Chains A and B, each alone.
Chain A
Amino acid sequence: MSAASPRAPGQRIYHGHGTPAKTEGRLARLFLIGAALAFWALFLLAPLVVVFGSALSEGIEVYVAALAEPETLSAIRLTLLASAIAVPVNLLFGLSVAWLISKYDFTGKSLLITLIDLPFSVSPVIAGLMFVLLFGARGWFAPLLEALDAHVIFAVPGIVLATLFITAPLIAREVLAVMQAQGDSEEEAALTMGASGWTIFRRITLPKLKWGVIYGVILCNARAMGEFGAVSVVSGHIRGETNTLPLHVEVLYNEYQFAAAFAVASLLAFLALLTLVLKQFVEWRAHKKLHALSMQDVPAPLSLPPTPGVSS
């Protein structure tokens, strides 16, 4: 790209005012905006409105009762547990992956990157199936589990494992992108001054990564709490025991308790909206930092978290 004038990355060329030399006519513009908004309203706004509308369709008492039910509370606990395990484990994995891939060159690196992204291209149902084949009644580890009298499939450990598999690439991807964009000149400078590897990581790398890490954690948490397909295969749908919130929604819906199903679903929809707001905030903060840097004429580009993030 041959930019005529220096421009900060991410800066919009057409920002409100200043139309390009030739642009679409007013009518064409209105038509395009109208078509885009119609599609947006039909596919994104309408489902969200339906969730909240149906949740309150039988009155606030039914809504509150559905949420206060012991089975709902147990589903909330299980969902929080799965996420509380998945986020720190994936964070550790993500930092390790990012350090390995951004700081060193070695043979097999691109193969490794493909492997890390692999859970994105495996159907969640197939992910669940793989764990059933490992830990199920006739699985590889069945004799071992039997000897220990432990259960993985149709029990909480299976749900945690399926969640870990599905969310594995999320934090790694975000942190890696930020670490690669930042380069390692500061780390190398610290090394020449005699800092140990651990000190460099803790005092230099980690603070620089802050927003990338937060971004990854938000995405990972949303996916961990909302995962359905993989968890559904390994859960066994035991009420009050192995139902996460999305599974509890399914159970209620299949029992024709629509208002209750949508009430529980509205909790998850709230979570989704909160995720979008936080994501927006992090992007705004990262952008502000970028802007501040370009004002000081610091040449090192600080990249925003990459966009096509959670392919879930």
Chain B
Amino acid sequence: MLSRRGVLPGFGLSLGYTLLYLGLMVLLPLSALAYRAAGLGFVEFWNVATENRALVAYKLSFGISLLAALTNAAFGLLLAWVLVRYTFPGRKLVDAMIDLPFALPTAVAGIALTALYAPTGFLGEPLARLGIQVAYTPLGIFMALVFTGIPFVVRTVQPVLEELDASVEEAAAILGATRLQTFTRVILPGLVPAALTGFALAFARGVGEYGSVVFISGNMPFKTEIAPLLIVTKLEGYDYAGATVIACVMLGVSFLSLLAINLIQRRLVRPQ
């Protein structure tokens, strides 16, 4: 830590303060979690971690987050493309509102989506007549996670798309490529790393999301109970050990998935 480079003063002060604050606010709470989990013993940890109810919750949280993040990747690319390449009335407004899921408290988003998709809601009622129920089903969880994930892919792809060199596209066109070929062979490969970053962020956010999901999911164990809700349920029953186990499994799986995405990304960026 001490092999510093840089001539400006203040190294000791900023290092000391940063480490102290991080230690107290981030490392201390994390170690409390790790310590609690380590005190359980392997057998007990394994038994709680692989309870049927927990397995269903992981599957819901990770599975629906994955689907929602994929949806976000597709529509995020579309939105970024439309916002950068085309002009249309209201473009500025559409652009500014992309960040709404960052700015709107998740509880507000949660009750709004529930009101919208409840069987008596503005969109829920016509959908119910078609036999599609959204609120209080996994589909409702999906809608909430798509909402929270929208900004990630748009905001990672947008700057890359803006900086894209037009001459390459022109060259492709002159060489006789159709517009679709130019898009899939020339433009898209340049956007994939940024889109993947956005996808990973949306996925990680979705796995941990709580506020926007609890209202619309209906919270039925074995059906629509997501993993963060299971933690809350266990805490409300003062089952601290159970809550700790589920939290550790979630953190572990999230970490491994982000690592995997990172590896894929490295392979993609590496020049052939």
Contact = CB atoms under 8 A, between A and B. Distances in A.
Contacts of B164: 13
Interface in B115-159: 115-116, 122-123, 143, 146-147, 150-152, 155-156, 158-159
A82 B239 CA distance: 28
Contacts of A104: 4-6, 8, 11
B84 interface: yes
B208 A40 contact: no
A48 interface: yes
A172 B167 CA distance: 37
A33 B86 contact: yes
Contacts of A212: none
A126 B25 contact: no
Interface string A23-51: 11100110011011101100111111011
B8 A200 contact: yes
B173 A21 contact: yes
B252 to A, nearest CB: 12
Given A106-B2, A125-B231, A229-B228, A22 B182 contact: yes
A61 B56 CA distance: 45
Chain B binding surface SS class: helix
A16 B92 CA distance: 13
Contact of A14 (B84, B228, B235): B84
A246 B32 contact: no
A39 B150 CA distance: 10
B266 to A, nearest CB: 15
B40 interface: no
B210 A228 contact: yes
B240 A44 contact: no
Contact of B170 (A20, A119, A164, A310): A20
B235 A129 contact: yes
B163 A32 contact: no
Contacts of A2: 165
B79 A226 contact: no
B102 A310 contact: yes
B78 A99 contact: no
A197 B10 contact: yes
B6 A103 contact: yes
B243 to A, nearest CB: 6
Most A-side CB within 10 Å, residue of B27, B102, B162, B201: B102
A165 interface: yes
A230 to B, nearest CB: 9
Contacts of B217: none
B269 interface: no
B244 A50 contact: no
A174 interface: no
Given A22-B179, A168-B25, A226-B106, A39 B5 contact: no
Contacts of B250: 123, 126
Interface string B1-19: 1111111111101110110
B152 A308 contact: yes
Q: Which 10 A-B pairs have the closest CB atoms?
A: A123-B208, A226-B105, A197-B9, A228-B211, A130-B29, A22-B173, A229-B210, A21-B170, A47-B112, A272-B103
15 contacts: A21-B174, A37-B82, A47-B113, A50-B112, A96-B17, A100-B14, A108-B1, A121-B254, A133-B29, A133-B32, A139-B32, A229-B228, A268-B108, A272-B108, A276-B99
Interface of B: 1-11, 13-15, 17-18, 21-22, 25-30, 32-33, 36, 75, 78-79, 81-88, 94, 96-109, 111-113, 115-116, 122-123, 143, 146-147, 150-152, 155-156, 158-159, 162-167, 169-170, 173-174, 179, 182, 197-198, 201, 204-205, 207-211, 215, 228-229, 231-232, 235, 238, 240, 243-244, 247, 250-251, 254-255, 258
